[in-house]
Each structure stands twice: as C-alpha cells, then as structure tokens.
Structure 1
C-alpha cells in the first residue's frame, strides 16, 4: 500500500508514472493502444530506463507495451538529440 502512496503523493505525475500506476492497479491492458501519447520527458525517461537496465529495443517494447518501431524511432531521436551533442571530439 505504501508503494501506491508514493505515486499518489507526487505533486506532478508524468505519463510514465500514470501508466505504471494504472498497470499496478488494473494489470496491463494489451487492447487499448490507440490513445497512448508521450511527452519528450516521458520518452527521455523510457530511454534512460533502457540504458540503465541494459535492455534491447525488443525487451523495452515488451516491458512498456510499445511497438518495436516506436522504440527504434525514439532511440534514434534520443541518440541524436541528447547524447551526441554531449560527445566532444
């Protein structure tokens, strides 16, 4: 119960937090994929989760119930927008 409370007591919840909480309460719903939308910060959080946990695109797609094509597209965007500018040659 305390685990749920930590999510509910947040002042601002990201889409990632809401989806996680929804899956914890109701279980994962594989039928409703039409209305999912993610902000840039949500995508960044998901991509960071992939790198921290050393997941493949396929594993990440299964974990978050996403399309592998979506994950691949996000990864390309993430690498060019967030990681490559930080690399100094």
Structure 2
C-alpha cells in the first residue's frame, strides 16, 4: 500500500495570502519559511488567516477534508485538559465537530 502524499500547505497558503489576504503575510511569514508544516501549524495558520470568518463558514467549507495526525490530536486533547474546556468549547476553538472530539477520546482512551 502506497503512502499518500500530503498537500504542499506552504504553497497553498502562500497563494491564499497573496491573492486574498496580503495584509497577513507578515504574521504568517514564520510558518511559510519552513520546509514542511505540521498539522498543528496548519491549524495555527488557519486561525491567523481566517480569524474573522464565522465558524459555520469555515466548518462548511473544509471540515470534511481535514485530517489530523496523532501528535495534533494529542495536542488538542491536552489543550482541553489544560484549560478545562468541555467538548463543545474545544470543538469551537479548533473548529472541529464535537463528535470528532468524542471519537478521539474513545480511540485514545482519554477521560
């Protein structure tokens, strides 16, 4: 079985910034100078670039196409413990569904 290649997020975000959000280029430059982005960095870039768009717009536009690596899932679940958030608050913060949070907790045996 072949391993799927991940998208070139740096190129994608550079294009988005150049065409729609040139004013955010400086804020994003740290990430765009890297050779490769982690899933967590992609989430951070999303937050910087699309901060003013509503949750429902973002969720509808790309929630079906997201995938998270294990490191990022642990980061998100750790964030919940650290800041004592319920599943709804965590889902709103990271723009994922509550069902996804619940399934991650079941998969990784988190209470």
Shared topology, TM-score over 0.5?
yes
Task: Give unpaired runs (5+ residues) of structure 1.
Answer: 84-89
What residue number does 1:23 align with? 47
Partner of 1:43: 73
Matched, 1:14 2:43: no
Aligned length: 81
Q: Could you tell me whether the CA contact under 8 Å between 2:87 and 2:102 is conserved in 1? A: yes
Show the counterpart of 1:86: none
Question: Which residue of structure 1 lines up, in the alignment, with residue 15 of structure 2?
Answer: none
CA RMSD of aligned residues (A): 2.4
Unaligned runs of 5+ in 2: 1-24
TM-score where L is the length of structure 2: 0.58
Q: Deviations over 1:32-66 (max 9, x none)?
A: 21211111111111111111111111111111111
TM-score (norm 1): 0.70
**Structure 1 runs (4+) greater than 6 angstroms displaced:** none
Residue among 101, 105, 111 paired with 1:71: 101
